[in-house]
Amino acid sequence: MTGGSKIRYTTQLQAGLGLIEETKSLLSIYKPGMTVSELYYAALESGLFPMVSARRLKNIIGECFSPRYLKTDSARFLKPISQNAPAHVFNQHLFVFTALANQILFNFIIEIYWNRYPGGRDMLSIDDARDFVSQAVNEGKTQKPWSETTIRRVSSYLIGCCADYGMLSSKRSPVRQIQSIRLEEYTLLFFSYWLHFQQMGDNRIIKHNLWQLFGLTPDDVREELKRISKKDWLIVQSAADVTRISWRFNSLEEVVDVITES
């Protein structure tokens, strides 16, 4: 899983940023077990992408949809969420999986976005992104040195992706307004169980760095879990730095049912 492992930064975001509407359309076509190739041909035949070239569609599926939602085996859960949950809940799920699949975006949000917001700065610029990318290249975090053109492009991708997910103003400008985001309770519910079903211990879940995408510390996560425990979705017991969670649901399908039937 991305979001902490030492993976080299890539330019994969060039294939697509948030792609919220495209992802929703692809999920409507997707059937569990589909390969990238099968989904591509099904999408071509669906008529849902009349303005997208075959080559572009292939890139979207292979470079964006697949690493975000097929390799994580999350498409089958996101499909019902896309159809039945509020748009802001669905979009937040996409945001997390996109960040997990793109280490450079993940780290940009944690290191730059969340360092600006609590500090009282309400703006984020393309120059901030460029400085972040340039430093990453200088520190050898890319597979090979990037040209100035690539650095400039990737910087714009980072800003654009944050805007797609509602973290920055959508107005095209070198300087964007930071927009506050809050971890939705259904997002917390889904990803806490998602980590749990990966055989992760309760304290590791609390300390997992995906929560940093929402500016949360482990103490914040613990309190948020206690808050949703009032809905009888789980039970949280904590003493000092040790937390024990009693998990009510036996599968992610059950969790998705809660989200989609709300």
CA separation, residue 114 to residues 158, 216, 233 (Å): 14, 10, 29
pLDDT digits (tens, 9 = 90+) for 84-95: 999 999 999 999
Residue 158 CB partners (closer than 8 Å, separation 6+): 13, 104, 105, 108, 129, 132, 133
pLDDT at 6: 64
Mean pLDDT of the region 30-43:
97
Residue 244 CB partners (closer than 8 Å, separation 6+): 202, 236, 237, 238
pLDDT tops 70 at residue 59: yes
Measured CA to CA, the distance from residue 195 to residue 100 in angstroms comes to 13
pLDDT at 116: 84
pLDDT at 3: 44
CB 183 within 8 A of CB 211: yes
Question: Is the pLDDT higher at 172 or at 14?
Answer: 14
pLDDT at 180: 85
Mean of pLDDT over the chain: 94
pLDDT digits (tens, 9 = 90+) for 194-212: 999 999 999 999 999 999 9
Question: How crowded is residue 237: how many other Cβ atoms within 10 Å of its Cβ?
Answer: 12
Q: Give me the torsion for CA of 194, 200, 205, 210, rounded to 10°.
A: -60
pLDDT tops 90 at residue 83: yes
Q: What does the DSSP assignment read for 208-238?
A: -GGGGGGT--HHHHHHHHHHHHTTTSEEEEE
Provide the β-strand partners of residue 238.
243
pLDDT tops 50 at residue 224: yes
pLDDT at 262: 77
pTM: 0.94
pLDDT at 241: 79
pLDDT tops 50 at residue 76: yes
pLDDT digits (tens, 9 = 90+) for 107-162: 999 999 999 866 667 899 999 999 999 999 999 999 899 999 999 999 999 999 99
Q: What does the DSSP assignment read for 7-40?
A: PPB--GGGG-S--HHHHHHHHHH--TT--HHHHH
Question: For residue 158, is it left (φ>0), alpha (ψ between -120 and 50) or beta?
Answer: alpha
pLDDT tops 80 at residue 33: yes
pLDDT at 119: 63
Question: Is the pLDDT higher at 6 or at 2?
Answer: 6
Mean pLDDT of the region 215-235:
97
